[in-house]
Amino acid sequence: MEPIKEVLDSLLEDRHQLKKLITEPKGLIFDDLSRTQRHISRKPDPSRIFRMGPSPLDTTLKVVRDLSSGVLLDFHEVEMSYVGKTSKTSTSMQRAPGPPDEPVRGSTTNVPFWPGGIDEPKLVDLHLEDDPNGLDSENDLETVPPGFDFGMSFTSEPSETAVETQSDRNQKSKTKVEINISDLLMNTDEDLMTFGGQATSDVVKGVHGCVDVNSLNEAVIKEAKPNETDEVIDMIATKVSNLDIVLDISKESDASKAIMKKTEWAEEVNVNNPVLDFYKRVPVMAKTWPFELDNFQKQAILRLERHESVFVAAHTSAGKTVVAEYAIALSFRHLTRTIYTSPIKALSNQKYRDFKDTFEDVGLLTGDIQINSKAACLIMTTEILRSMLYNGSDTIRDLEWVIFDEVHYINDVERGVVWEEVLIMLPRHVGIVLLSATVPNTLQFADWIGRTKRKKIYVISTPKRPVPLEHYLFVSKGKDKKLFQVVRADGKLDTIGYTAALEAQKDSKSNTKQFGPIQPRNSLSIQQEKTIYLNAVQLLKKMNQLPVVVFTFSRKRCDSNARMLNSLDLTTSFEKNRIRVFVNKCVTKLKHSDRNLPQVKTMEGLLSQGIGIHHSGILPILKEVVELLFQQGLVKLLFATETFAMGVNMPARTVVFDAIRKFDGVRPRFLNTAEYIQMAGRAGRRGLDTTGTVIVLCKDSIPELSDLNAIMMGKPTMLESRFRLTYTMILNLFSIENLTMEDMMKRSFFEVENQKSIPIYEEQMKQLNEQVASMSDSVACDVCSSTLRQYYERCSDYVTLRQEIKVVVSSTPNAIPVGRVVVVTAAGRTRPTYAIVLKVTTQKETTVVTVLTAKNQRAHGAKGNEHLWPHFINAHNTNAIVPEGVSETEVIQCSLNCDVLAITTRVVRVDATRVLNDWDKRQIPRFKDDPPGKSFLSATEELKSISHQMGSNPDELDPIVHLGLKDIDLHDKYVRSKRIRKDLLTYDCITCSSFEEHFYQMYENMKIKEKLQEVRKRIGNRLVLEPECKSRIEVLKELKYIDHNCILQLKGRVARQIGQHELMITELILENLFTEMQPAEIAALLSCMVFEDKHSSEAELNETLKRGMQSVLHTAQRIGKVQYDKGVQMPVEDYIKQFNFNLAEVVYEWARGTSFTDIMPLTDVQEGVIVRCIQRLDEILRDVKDAARTVGNPVLHKKMEEASQAIKRDIVFAASLYIQ
């Protein structure tokens, strides 16, 4: 007891001393370190590195209980295959969980869980003889480890008798045994340990050691007779070194496999069959609603109850969210988790608000927000889910459902690949719920998912729209305002209404003639536009058709249209007060200076009048104010771009289209059906409106009936693969053992559809081979035989260059205006004719030109089925036919790439609208014999006059001189084409009297051979993306991101952590560009990675930023050149153009603490675009901060943290109203 008492007294004394030091710190001595610090000596012990702790047990005891009583019967020792597996080393679901403090998004050092639908790697195959990539443990051992320059060689030579040749091994017989573990587990330990009275563990030996008899299939032994038992065992013992033992823990019976092979991976459910016994089949629902469910919703719930994946395709407001809510409710019941993904952040915020009202345990994960990350229901963007999958997040373990909303967004060119990556990488236990608008190929898309994940997908599609749509044309005739119906609620076209609209438009004051070379986008004055809008809104208000959404395809036009109607007041005094109170409540959360921003003040005034604006240039908090007021019915007139229809689910009573043509970044074109339906579908509120009203404003002209029919009545756009290879994807897959790029590519939607075409290509190759065998290689002509082949090859080069030039020219605004004279070869013409452009339209990737041209009877021997033949035959000399009679003209449609031979410099004045209307009228049998109208005859005379002026040799358009294009590559192509055309005149074959006949024979033969070569290439390269993949891998090797064995190096590990421009940012980090710069300067330079507006004003940069900009551009040129040299199809100039520094000055000042009000005069970029750019910049700063930790640069890590904190303030990072 005495020693214990001494210890207690000592502790008590130490406690009193500690308390005194804490309460009276003046007594501490800071200058005498010898009294305040202790040095504990450490004795070196190098031998510790040779001492290892015991390895974990690889077996455990499993209890056996009586199923009826639960009584413990026995213990069995079972193997634990997951022992020692961690998130850093294994893709198995049985691996040890990560540390508790690991983020919900996982860690970049983790490996992902194994994707479902791909066979997991099993034990190493032992059949080394027939495997060309197998390892011969005797002769194929390498002496240099991966990543080492030198190795070790063991020179001991085996005896000649001990060496076994490859031919000897190939002659040995092999036996393949498939082991069904489920059968083995049915046996007792005694049965497995003893066979025929002999212990088999001493008998059965394998190449790599002892093979336990538990690995043998009992069925193999049972086939032997009792007296043959010993012989069977001896046979197995002597030949076990040649066995292929295939272990498959999840092995299914052969009968089950046969059924799966015969069963389709996608099945369309008949939603017309009523589910009469629904409540008997689902007696206790996970969630109920206060209304009766539709049939398609019941069908989906039945599948979800059986944990089957579904693809629900329905129109807007049809009730797809019910299916998502039920999946979430099921996960709550099962104590699992659900992830709800959306394509855009705004929709994620809105869904968080909606689901938070329905379910309690809901979380939100976006780029800059993380709320309740441990929730059972997590809402996030698809990019966040992809990051979680690649980073091996433990959240995936508990995941029961992933809900993909707005699946048709997979058609997005830039981000569609994310959907495919996520669907491929999802583990097998995760159920899939797909929600989409109606698309024509749902079954095809579902079949791809089912085939990829090896689970059946049930397609539940309802084409019925809950609120039918009626489509109208609005024509303002003086003071008379009328709506003309063109599509009825039953979906049928109303030609009577269209004809009435044409008659009304003829007398309208807003109808102006379209003379001149250039057709303006809008020929009306501001006052005329204002009158049209006032008339339209007043009519809709009188018809009680408010609220209305006006879709406008320009941010500036949205703003100008709203300001133009500042005299319009659509709200009552009570509504004004509600709007004012709500706006003030939202705006008071901002700083005083931010509350006085011009955009904020302007929006407050417009909202009080019931007018709102919604587009990407509006501040995010103001967009949410508009959305919430619109939901409450306080915004009566909303001007929005098409992004409002893509993400925000807020229907209106009426939808108005300011125009049905848009500029898609390349050229003006009509809306396609999918775009039109997506926006028009916002009309009609379920439960409030019997029909939805869709109106097209006809300002200066009425669209042609054929165009309206194609837009309104056409088929929706099919779901198409946008899969593309990225460096991040390649690096992520290289970090996963046993998962290759080929596994990812061949499971993409793009490659799966391509694989289905292989049998077709094989049949084509067979037919083409027969044609090549029967054709003659030469032409029986003394003049042509020697030079015709060379002439064809030069012609082919010339035509290819001309086609590439035309693509660039057609994408240039006003390059082919109304009135442009061109040379065409359409409608089976051998000789080209002049034509006048009347209309230019874009259909998918093809530009269609409607022209007025002279009639030209098809010449003898013309090959109309070969669309490029006229380009070849006229390569050396374009002799255009000059029309002689004014009556012999016609209107035809031509493909710009195939039918337009040349574009001339001439532009004539023509009334295109009247010419087209006159032609269309005379195509009707009743008016077939009517004489051409005055405008038609005038255009024909213009055509005749300009044709005679130019003669047979047209003045071709020079894109460099006449269009002012400064593209170096384009200039080079144009010069080369002119040189080749000049060279074509030197060939003797063109002097042959039968040149055209002989040349066509050569043309046809060469086209067959080229087609055969292309088909062979398609069959040989089973994966279309394989050449690009190899090129990108070579780029990574050249830049030292991977070594020659495709093992990740330091650069590769850094690039994996970066979400965009991974090569560029990694190079800048490792070049130490940012080390000597201030945080604000680093943020300014990195803004070039996220700013995309090409038409903004240039920034004024200081000397440090100018030097940094030059370094960035120099690095971009170096990377771009390496890519181009290795075969990546991106010109160096295009790669450099991605980096835009026009917002660098704004970001620099913002990072220095300048207020938002003071940075706005520095640029002409709209407020919302600036906010979005800075928010995306913060994501890059976080990536660079993580990369700095990886490379061991604490200085850069600290600067990135400071830069991120500097920009995350005030209105730019104001909290969303949906999460407050």
pLDDT tens, position by position, 903-916: 888 888 888 888 88
Sort strands 900-907 and 820-824 into parallel, antiparallel or unpaired: antiparallel
Reported as a pLDDT band with limits 50, 70 and 90, residue 36 is: low
> What is the pLDDT, as a whole number, of residue 707?
84
> What is the pLDDT, as a whole number, of residue 252?
35
Whether 1117 has a pLDDT exceeding 90, the answer reads yes
> What is the pLDDT, as a whole number, of residue 315?
84
Q: Which residue has the higher pLDDT, 103 or 479?
A: 103
On the CB side of 1080, CA atoms within 13 Å amount to 14
Element (H, E) at 1114: helix 1103-1125
**How far is CA 68 from each of CA 73, 1053, 1061, rounded to the nearest angstrom?**
12, 55, 62
> What is the pLDDT, as a whole number, of residue 403?
96
> What is the pLDDT, as a whole number, of residue 31?
53
Reported as a pLDDT band with limits 50, 70 and 90, residue 566 is: confident
Whether 1185 has a pLDDT exceeding 60, the answer reads yes
Element (H, E) at 890: strand 889-895
Strands (E), 526-627: 548-551, 611-614
DSSP H stretches of helix in 859-967: 869-873, 912-922, 934-950
DSSP H stretches of helix in 263-363: 278-281, 295-305, 320-333, 345-358
The percentage of the chain sitting over the pLDDT mark of 90, rounded to a whole number, equals 28
SS (H, E, C) 651-695: CECEEEECCCEEECCCCEEECCHHHHHHHHCCECCCCCCCCEEEE
Taking alpha carbons only, the member of 1017, 1019, 444, 1021 closest to residue 759 is: 1019
* 340 close to 1210: Cβ distance less than 8 angstroms: no
Number of H helices, E strands in the chain: 45, 31
Strands (E), 142-284: 175-179, 194-195, 198-199, 205-206, 209-210, 243-247, 266-268
Whether 230 has a pLDDT exceeding 50, the answer reads no
3-state secondary structure of 990: helix
> What is the pLDDT, as a whole number, of residue 1151?
93
Range from 190-204, 869-883, 1097-1111 that averages highest in pLDDT: 1097-1111
> What is the pLDDT, as a whole number, of residue 27?
58
Element (H, E) at 471: strand 469-477
C-alpha–C-alpha distance, residues 372 and 388, integer Å: 16
Sort strands 59-65 and 266-268 into parallel, antiparallel or unpaired: unpaired
* 717 close to 674: Cβ distance less than 8 angstroms: yes
Reported as a pLDDT band with limits 50, 70 and 90, residue 261 is: very low
C-alpha–C-alpha distance, residues 138 and 166, integer Å: 11
**How far is CA 800 from each of CA 794, 897, 967, 1211, rounded to the nearest angstrom?**
10, 11, 18, 52
Burial of 129 (0-12, 13-18, 19+ CB in 10 A): middle
The mean pLDDT value for 1162-1178 works out to 92
Reported as a pLDDT band with limits 50, 70 and 90, residue 1109 is: very high
Whether 127 has a pLDDT exceeding 70, the answer reads no
Q: Which residue has the higher pLDDT, 977 or 374?
A: 374
> What is the pLDDT, as a whole number, of residue 1022?
67
C-alpha–C-alpha distance, residues 107 and 94, integer Å: 18
Give me the residues paired with residue 668 across strands.
663
- List the single range of 432-436, 786-790, 1083-1087, 1156-1160 with lowest mean pLDDT: 786-790
> What is the pLDDT, as a whole number, of residue 431?
95
Reported as a pLDDT band with limits 50, 70 and 90, residue 22 is: low
Q: Hey, what amino acid is at 655?
A: V
Q: Model pTM? A: 0.73
Say which DSSP state 927 is in.
Answer: G
The mean pLDDT value for 98-119 works out to 86
> What is the pLDDT, as a whole number, of residue 578?
93
Reported as a pLDDT band with limits 50, 70 and 90, residue 843 is: low
pLDDT (tens digit per residue) in 569-595: 999 999 999 999 999 999 988 888 888
> What is the pLDDT, as a whole number, of residue 3?
55
pLDDT (tens digit per residue) in 263-274: 578 999 988 888
> What is the pLDDT, as a whole number, of residue 35?
55
pLDDT (tens digit per residue) in 140-188: 667 777 667 667 765 544 444 333 443 443 443 333 334 443 343 334 3
> What is the pLDDT, as a whole number, of residue 5?
58
* 204 close to 195: Cβ distance less than 8 angstroms: no
Give me the residues paired with residue 894 across strands.
849
Whether 1099 has a pLDDT exceeding 50, the answer reads yes
**How far is CA 390 from each of CA 387, 393, 426, 780, 1042, rounded to the nearest angstrom?**
5, 8, 10, 64, 18
Taking alpha carbons only, the member of 681, 691, 642, 709 closest to residue 313 is: 681
Element (H, E) at 1105: helix 1103-1125
Question: Phi and psi for 499 in degrees, rounded to 5?
Answer: -65, -40
C-alpha–C-alpha distance, residues 1054 and 1191, integer Å: 7
List of long-range contacts for 479-488, beta carbons under 8 Å, 24+ apart: 480/504, 481/535, 481/536, 481/538, 481/539, 483/539, 483/695, 486/708, 486/712, 487/712, 487/713
The mean pLDDT value for 676-682 works out to 87
The mean pLDDT value for 703-728 works out to 86
Whether 778 has a pLDDT exceeding 80, the answer reads no
> What is the pLDDT, as a whole number, of residue 1129?
85
Q: What is the mean pLDDT of the chain?
A: 79
Q: Find tokens 């009135």 and name the residue.
A: 819
Q: Please give the structure tokens belonging to residue 263.
A: 């069963």
